[in-house]
Amino acid sequence: METIPHFLSTYGYLGIFLLLMVGIVGLPIPDEVVLAFAGYMVFKGFFHPLPTVLTALLGTFCGITVSYSLGRSLGFYFLQKYGHNLHISLERLARVQSWFHRVGKWAIFFGYFIMGVRHLTALTAGASRVRFRVFALFAYSGGFLWALSYICLGYFLGEELPKLSPELRQGFFIGSGIVILSISAFFIFRYFKNRRLAS
């Protein structure tokens, strides 16, 4: 985890793109840490805000689309048989499948904020034959909120970010994800409730 700032400082925007893309596909890379340190690099003046956000979004969108495509082309049978090669346990895949079928398309949107789940929701959406247009709407809007939130978090933490121990950092990011998720769910729920009342 401590090599992420060094990787970003060495490879710049390309490093952001590569880490996020392979992390979202399923490699064990702490994506929230990548985004937060990208925001920290903006704070330090090493990166510019707009290219940082655009690169993060591109890596996020590419990674989540690859996961969806794998699910759509290979299906659940392949994932259940060979998923361990993609760091997918059968137990976790079954839990995400159950959650996806209960929550529906919103699982794709909110799944970003749950560590170890975001790529599984995309795989499940692909294997469930969710239309790409529907998938893209929820996946890309959720990815935008997720990436921007953690970049801003890293920026506003500033010099405090490197001082956090890995354990505190993970706990802080999980807590922040829960807060962002709760606020997002509240406003989305209120928006659709107001729409129903207005119609």
Percent of all residues in the chain with a pLDDT value above 90, rounded to a whole number: 35
Q: Is 172 exposed, middle or buried, given 0-12, 13-18 or 19+ CB atoms closer than 10 A? A: middle
Least-confidence region, from 4-13, 29-38, 94-103, 125-134 = 94-103
129 against 85, higher pLDDT: 129
Residue whose C-alpha is closest to residue 155's, from 46, 36, 53: 36
Query: What is the mean predicted confidence (pLDDT) over 115-136?
Result: 84
Please tell me the predicted confidence (pLDDT) of residue 2: 59
Query: What is the mean predicted confidence (pLDDT) over 12-25?
Result: 94
Q: Three-state SS string across the chain, please?
A: CCHHHHHHHHHHHHHHHHHHHHHHHCCCCCHHHHHHHHHHHHHHCCCCHHHHHHHHHHHHHHHHHHHHHHHHHHHHHHHHHHHHHHCCCHHHHHHHHHHHHHHCCHHHHHHHHCCCCHHHHHHHHHHCCCCHHHHHHHHHHHHHHHHHHHHHHHHHHCCHHHHCCHHHHHHHHHHHHHHHHHHHHHHHHHHHHHHHHHC
Domain count, the chain: 1
**Which residues span the domain enclosing 157?**
3-198
Confidence class of residue 178 from pLDDT cuts 50, 70 and 90? low
pTM above 0.85, yes or no: no
Q: Which two tokens stand for residue 155?
A: 């920026």
User: Which tens digits make up the pLDDT trace of 45-82?
Assistant: 999 999 999 999 999 999 999 989 988 888 777 666 76
171 against 71, higher pLDDT: 71
* Distance (Å) of CA 5 to CA 37, 63, 116, 166: 6, 21, 21, 13
Q: Is 71 in contact with 35 (CB distance < 8 Å)? A: no
Alpha-carbon torsion (170, 18, 55, 69), positive or negative? negative
Question: Tokens 């690169």 correspond to what residue?
Answer: 55
Residue whose C-alpha is closest to residue 100's, from 83, 119, 82, 86: 119
Report whether pLDDT(189) > 70.
no
Please tell me the predicted confidence (pLDDT) of residue 188: 60
Please tell me the predicted confidence (pLDDT) of residue 84: 66
Please tell me the predicted confidence (pLDDT) of residue 107: 83
Report whether pLDDT(34) > 90.
yes
Please tell me the predicted confidence (pLDDT) of residue 88: 66
Q: Which two tokens stand for residue 175?
A: 């807590």
Please tell me the predicted confidence (pLDDT) of residue 63: 94
Query: What is the mean predicted confidence (pLDDT) over 35-39?
Result: 93
User: Which tens digits make up the pLDDT trace of 128-164?
Assistant: 888 899 999 999 999 999 999 899 989 988 888 877 7
